């Protein structure tokens, strides 16, 4: 496992990091995204989604669990599991439209112990550093 730490100074830099991360993603990959409220999780995902060819507005799926966006040759899934408990208590098909072949999935508020996320390609952790600055740790699985 490799770890890379970056500090960004504004939302544009966080989006740019998301775009850089997208360059190494492939069909079926899962990216787990952690961080407190307001740390830029959706901003990072927006940058990655744009780099993958998404043209629609990329917004937080907080109130709908997930969004799917058409990208170049695949879909980008953006999930927010903040309001969910353990996935074992949910319907088995809850995430089936978002994960697996045909999509690259970004999962906010993941529980890394969930079997659905085993083999995640990246774990990205964002933390506030004051004003618009963020400390972003990227772990490659």
User: 102-127: per-residue pLDDT in tens?
Assistant: 999 999 988 877 888 888 999 999 99
How deeply is 137 buried, as exposed, middle or buried, from its count of CB atoms within 10 A (0-12, 13-18, 19+)? Answer: middle
- Residue 90 makes CB contacts below 8 A (sequence gap 6+) with 84
SS3 assignment, position 78: strand
Is 7 inside a domain boundary? yes
Residue-level pLDDT at 87: 59
Average pLDDT taken over every residue of the chain:
91
Is 57 inside a domain boundary? yes
Q: Which two tokens stand for residue 16?
A: 């740019």
Is 89 inside a domain boundary? no
Domain encompassing residue 108: 2-84+96-140
Alpha-carbon dihedral sign for residues 20, 104, 124, 133: positive
- Residue 81 makes CB contacts below 8 A (sequence gap 6+) with 65, 107, 108, 109, 110, 111
Residue-level pLDDT at 1: 75
Residue-level pLDDT at 91: 65
Could you give the number of structural domains in the chain? 1
* Banded model confidence at residue 62, pLDDT cuts 50, 70, 90: confident
C-alpha span between 123 and 97 (Å, rounded): 21
pTM of the model: 0.92
Q: Is residue 39's pLDDT more than 70?
A: yes
Is 90 inside a domain boundary? no
Provide the CATH number for the domain around residue 131.
3.40.50.300
Is 11 inside a domain boundary? yes
C-alpha of 73 from chain center? 19
């Amino acid at each position: 496992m490799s770890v890379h730490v970056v500090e960004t100074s504004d939302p544009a830099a966080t989006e740019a990091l998301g775009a850089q991360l997208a360059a190494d993603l492939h069909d079926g990959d899962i990216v787990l995204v952690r961080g407190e409220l307001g740390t830029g999780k959706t901003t990072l995902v927006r940058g990655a989604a744009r780099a993958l060819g998404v043209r629609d507005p990329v917004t937080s799926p907080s109130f709908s669990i997930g969004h799917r966006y058409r990208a170049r040759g695949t879909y980008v899934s953006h999930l927010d599991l903040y309001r969910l408990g353990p996935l074992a208590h949910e319907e088995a098909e809850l995430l089936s439209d978002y994960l697996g072949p045909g999509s690259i999935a970004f999962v906010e508020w993941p529980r890394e112990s969930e079997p659905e996320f085993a083999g995640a390609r990246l774990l990205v952790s964002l933390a506030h550093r004051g004003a618009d600055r963020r400390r972003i740790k990227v772990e490659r699985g």
